[in-house]
């Protein structure tokens, strides 16, 4: 299991979702991805994207004006 | 018994392996949602594709403007996919889309929307996608006569032909008014259960939405993108005219959605934030543009797009001073910062409202 970080700062939705999707494609089931964003829209869009595509949100938090989401890659 | 089981099992397997797969173009609006649902109901495996051109009406401006931040926002295509219970693939076509917008073979609609070329482009991309992903056909939510430019009886075959999708393109909402497509001929879908909607009325779609229990769906007044918006289109044309070239970058696309755009002279324009959220957003561009902000009074951040002279910077300073707390002061200090971070302060007298000419507003 690996853990990777994706810098999606300054990108506006849906670009953070697209970058997340493209990165997840290269990862394996069970891997963790941390996505760091500045658009608050990700707090809604990335969890929705995860739900419909079978990935799990492990953490979603706001820190110093940034939005950080950790997800686990599903099947 | 074993023989029976084998035969039965094999039969089931073959049925399962024969489940046909369709890629649905999901814009986030009601029609594409209904089209996908009609085909899901027929037992076809459907997955959604959404193309991101950069101009799509989604969360951007909400994410930028302070006053919109409190409102709940959602990405309508993701929302639609979740309602439908299907996967959604969002494809970044920002770069490829440039050619569609800059050189549309069939021209523009009432604003800078190249709808027919755009549809051809998207269906063509969907065709490539189904080939790469082992899908059988494509569905869209188009309805004959629904939109003046791209959804007319004459344009339906043009989209099918020029995209290369031909009879792999099925429009479930108006299929009964069109020649049979491959999925219908092969019996993958039952034509009798497709629809024959036509015209501008939204009533049939509303009724079908009710049947499917779809509530709270998106009905964007201006369609699916900023290119149908008059004031956005004017800003895009202004950008091309004054740069002397029909080109753009994603940053341009984003900045056209933000702030007041004021062009006092052809060699530069001033983008003035209208509120706190926009100032914060423009902050992110300080390394790409000369920026101005009042240092003696509170006021908005502004970017300069173009090649201003010192005299032009003073003019820009007078404009932005007009939008800050120092608007009634005799003199306002303006901090000018170059892309490289070099700073200088200039003193200006704010413009009176009538000194900012009407025609400067893009
Ligand atoms: S409204 Fe925009 S996205 Fe929709 S077809 Fe026209 S150009 Fe394309």
Task: Quote the ipTM score.
Answer: 0.94
User: In the listed set B179, B208, B226, which residue is the last one of a domain according to the structure?
Assistant: B226
The whole model's pTM is what?
0.89
Q: Name the residue in chain A with its Cα closest to that of B59.
A: A13
Return the CA Rg of chain B.
26
Asked whether residue B237 is assigned to any structural domain, the reply reads no
CA of B223 to the centre of ligand 1 (A): 7
A7 in contact with B at a CB cutoff of 8 Å? no
- A-B interface: how many C-beta pairs under 8 angstroms? 66
Domain A3-72: CATH superfamily, name plus number: TusA-like domain (3.30.110.40)
Annotated catalytic residue A50: no
Would you say B68 and A47 are in contact if contact means Cβ atoms under 8 Å apart? no
pLDDT for the residue B208: 97
Quote the Cα angle for B41-B46-B51, to 5°: 130
pLDDT for the residue B4: 43
> Which residue of B58, B73, B78 is in closest CB contact with A49?
B78
The SS3 assignment for A65 reads: coil
Asked whether residue B249 is assigned to any structural domain, the reply reads no
pLDDT over 70 at B1, yes or no = no
Active-site choice (A11, A13, A43, A68): A13
- The predicted-structure confidence for B249-291, as pLDDT tens digits, reads as follows 999 998 998 899 999 999 999 999 999 888 988 998 999 999 9
Category of B259 on φ-ψ map: left (φ > 0), alpha (ψ -120 to 50) or beta: left
Contact B75 A12 (CB under 8 A): no
Asked whether residue B339 is assigned to any structural domain, the reply reads yes
Q: Is B228 in the pocket of ligand 1 (CB under 6 A)?
A: yes
State the DSSP string of B331-348. -EEEEEE-TT--EEEEEE
Would you give the DSSP letter of residue B279?
Answer: H
B10 in contact with A at a CB cutoff of 8 Å? no
What is the domain count for chain B?
A: 2
pLDDT for the residue B154: 87
Q: At what angle do helices B76-84 and A42-53 cross, to 10 degrees?
A: 30
Arithmetic mean of pLDDT, A14-42: 95
B280 in contact with A at a CB cutoff of 8 Å? no
**pLDDT-derived band at B6, boundaries 50, 70, 90:** very low
Ligand 1 atom nearest residue B114's Cα: 7
Whether residues B264 and B197 share a domain: the answer is no
Peptide bond into B193 cis (omega under 30): no
- The predicted-structure confidence for B203-222, as pLDDT tens digits, reads as follows 999 999 999 999 888 776 55
Arithmetic mean of pLDDT, B64-86: 79
Residue-number span of the structural domain to which B177 is assigned: 2-226
Distance of alpha carbon B283 from alpha carbon B302, whole angstroms: 9
Whether residues B50 and B188 share a domain: the answer is yes
Q: Is B279 in the pocket of ligand 1 (CB under 6 A)?
A: no
Whether residues B187 and B90 share a domain: the answer is yes
Domains of chain A, by residue range, sit at 3-72
pLDDT over 80 at B13, yes or no = no
Asked whether residue B238 is assigned to any structural domain, the reply reads no
pLDDT for the residue B63: 58
Would you say B116 and A39 are in contact if contact means Cβ atoms under 8 Å apart? no
Asked whether residue B246 is assigned to any structural domain, the reply reads no
We report the CATH number of the domain holding residue B150 as 3.40.50.620
Q: Is B50 in the pocket of ligand 1 (CB under 6 A)?
A: no
Minimum distance, in Å, between the CA of residue A40 and any CA atom of chain B: 7
H/E stretch holding B245 reads none
Mean pLDDT taken over chain B: 90
């Amino acid at each position: 299991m690996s853990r990777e970080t994706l810098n999606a700062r300054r990108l506006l939705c849906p670009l953070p979702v697209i970058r997340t999707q493209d990165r997840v494609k290269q990862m394996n089931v069970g891997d963790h991805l941390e996505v760091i964003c500045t658009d608050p829209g990700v707090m809604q869009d990335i969890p929705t994207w995860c739900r419909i595509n079978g990935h799990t949100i492990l953490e979603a938090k706001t820190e110093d004006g940034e939005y950080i989401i950790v997800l686990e890659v599903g099947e | 018994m074993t023989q029976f089981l084998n035969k039965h099992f094999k039969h089931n397997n073959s049925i399962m392996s024969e489940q046909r797969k369709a890629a649905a173009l999901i814009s986030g609006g009601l029609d594409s949602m209904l089209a996908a649902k009609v085909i899901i109901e027929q037992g076809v495996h459907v997955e959604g594709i959404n193309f991101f051109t950069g101009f799509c009406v989604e969360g951007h401006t909400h994410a930028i403007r302070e006053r919109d931040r409190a409102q709940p926002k959602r990405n309508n295509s993701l929302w639609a996919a979740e309602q439908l219970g299907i996967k959604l693939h969002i494809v970044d076509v920002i770069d490829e889309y440039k050619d569609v917008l800059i050189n549309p073979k069939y021209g523009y609609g009432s604003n800078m929307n190249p709808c027919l070329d755009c549809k051809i482009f998207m269906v063509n991309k969907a065709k490539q996608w189904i080939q790469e992903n082992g899908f059988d056909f494509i569905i869209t939510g188009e309805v004959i006569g629904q939109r003046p430019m791209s959804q007319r009886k004459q344009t339906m075959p043009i989209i099918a032909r020029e995209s290369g999708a031909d009879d792999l393109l099925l429009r479930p909402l108006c299929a009964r008014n069109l020649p049979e497509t491959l999925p219908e001929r092969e019996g993958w879908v039952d034509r009798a259960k497709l629809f024959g909607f036509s015209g501008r009325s939204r009533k049939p779609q509303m009724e079908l939405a009710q049947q499917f229990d779809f509530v709270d769906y998106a009905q964007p007044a201006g369609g699916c993108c900023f290119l149908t918006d008059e004031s956005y289109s004017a800003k895009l044309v202004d950008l091309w005219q004054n740069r002397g070239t029909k080109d753009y970058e994603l940053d341009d696309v984003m900045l056209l959605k933000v702030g007041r755009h004021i062009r006092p002279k052809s060699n530069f324009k001033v983008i003035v934030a209208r509120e706190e959220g926009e100032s914060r957003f423009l902050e992110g561009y300080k390394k790409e543009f000369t920026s101005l902000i009042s240092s003696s009074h509170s006021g908005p951040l502004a970017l300069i797009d173009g090649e201003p002279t010192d005299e032009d910077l003073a003019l820009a300073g007078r404009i932005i001073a007009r939008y800050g707390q120092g608007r009634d002061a005799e003199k306002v200090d303006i901090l000018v910062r170059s892309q490289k971070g070099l700073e200088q302060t200039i003193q200006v007298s704010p413009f009176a409202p009538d000194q900012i000419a009407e025609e400067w507003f893009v």
